[in-house]
């Protein structure tokens, strides 16, 4: 399903009252697309994608100003996916929002595909390459400053993970954003507690308190609660001289209990004969 430009490109004014049921429907549609993209591949980053569906639905179908018919619109809001291995979620939302043909989605992760497991910026609607972690926020600060210098009303939304808080460059960017009063920047911090080889073990908590101490207007929410996400995004519109941070506590595999229960959820291995049952779990939870 695609959206019309009128749906994909809200007006220059703040969005009106959210239709939470519609946003939840969109989030389910994203999860269903992701399951179809991952099925039969044997392994992949499906757990993180499922966890991010609510955030992406809230952004693309309520909060952000964008237009799939004009992907280079200068005053579009920018979404930067720093965790490029979450690309399965990025492709799902771009297809749902009309940026790409859904017929491309089954090629996700295949050799020679235009939809690799980590995003390329050649893909229409993708703003940055999100391969090496720890660089997304720095790029977002630069974009936010550039938009302000151009007099653009656009904002930059940057997703990055709790694992990236182990990178010094992330904290340097956080300091810079506060120093340069980038109130057109919103950080979406995916705190899912996992990294490549298991749980995040470096003492990065309390994330929200640390971001606030760095000068950010900070909110902490359940990242799989649509109402909480929409409310936090509404609060992040204030032009008060402070960058905004939304700390999202997400559950890898959200919507598919069997994946949630996996001990190692970063790069999930799923046998071909498991997919029908997992898709049935997702659909049962949406009934």
Q: pLDDT, tens digit, for every residue of 131-166? A: 677 689 999 999 999 999 999 999 999 999 988 898
Contacting residues for 276 by C-beta, under 8 A, at least 6 apart: none
Residue 209 pLDDT more than 60? yes
Return the SS3 of 219: strand
Residue 6: the pLDDT is 34
Which residue do the tokens 């402070």 mark? Answer: 242
Give, in order, the Cα–Cα distances in Å from 272 to each of 38, 168, 254: 10, 40, 20
Pair 31, 255: CB distance under 8 Å:
yes
Percent of the chain with pLDDT over 70: 90
pLDDT confidence of 117, banded at 50, 70, 90? confident
- The average pLDDT across 217-246 equals 97
- The average pLDDT across 114-139 equals 84
Pair 253, 47: CB distance under 8 Å:
yes
Residue 135: the pLDDT is 87
- The average pLDDT across 6-20 equals 59
Residue (of 190, 182, 258, 180) closest to 221 by Cα position = 190
Neighbours of 100 (CB within 10 A): 21
At 15, list the tokens: 């969005």
Residue 205 pLDDT more than 50? yes
CA 64, CA 78: separation in Å to the nearest integer? 8
CA 80, CA 158: separation in Å to the nearest integer? 5
pTM: predicted TM-score of the whole model, two decimal places: 0.91
Return the SS3 of 229: helix
Domains of the chain: 20-286 (3.40.50.970)
Q: pLDDT, tens digit, for every residue of 29-74? A: 999 999 999 887 876 788 899 999 999 999 999 999 999 999 999 9
């Amino acid at each position: 399903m695609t959206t019309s430009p009128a749906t994909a490109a809200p007006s220059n004014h703040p969005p009106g009252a959210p239709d939470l049921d519609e946003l939840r429907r969109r989030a389910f549609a994203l999860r269903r697309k992701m399951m179809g993209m991952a099925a039969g591949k044997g392994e992949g980053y499906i757990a993180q994608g499922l966890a991010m569906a609510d955030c992406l639905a809230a952004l693309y179908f309520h909060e952000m100003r964008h237009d799939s018919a004009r992907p280079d619109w200068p005053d579009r809001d920018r979404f930067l996916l720093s965790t490029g291995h979450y690309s399965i979620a990025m492709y799902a939302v771009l297809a749902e929002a009309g940026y790409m043909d859904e017929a491309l989605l089954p090629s996700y992760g295949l050799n020679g595909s235009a939809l690799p497991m980590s995003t390329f910026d050649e893909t229409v609607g993708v703003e940055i390459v999100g391969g090496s972690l720890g660089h997304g926020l720095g790029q977002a600060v630069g974009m936010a400053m550039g938009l302000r210098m151009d007099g653009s009303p656009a904002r930059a939304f940057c997703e990055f993970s709790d694992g990236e808080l182990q990178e010094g460059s992330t904290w340097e960017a956080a300091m810079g954003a506060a120093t340069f009063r980038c109130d057109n920047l919103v950080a979406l911090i995916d705190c899912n507690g996992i990294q490549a080889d298991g749980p995040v073990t470096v003492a990065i908590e309390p994330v929200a308190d640390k971001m606030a101490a760095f000068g950010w207007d900070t909110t902490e929410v359940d990242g799989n609660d649509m109402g909480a996400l929409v409310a936090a995004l509404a609060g992040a519109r204030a032009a008060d001289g402070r960058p905004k941070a939304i700390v999202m506590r997400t559950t890898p595999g959200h919507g598919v209990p069997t994946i949630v229960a996996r001990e190692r959820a970063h790069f999930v291995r799923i046998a071909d004969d498991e997919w029908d049952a997992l898709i049935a779990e997702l659909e049962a939870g949406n009934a």
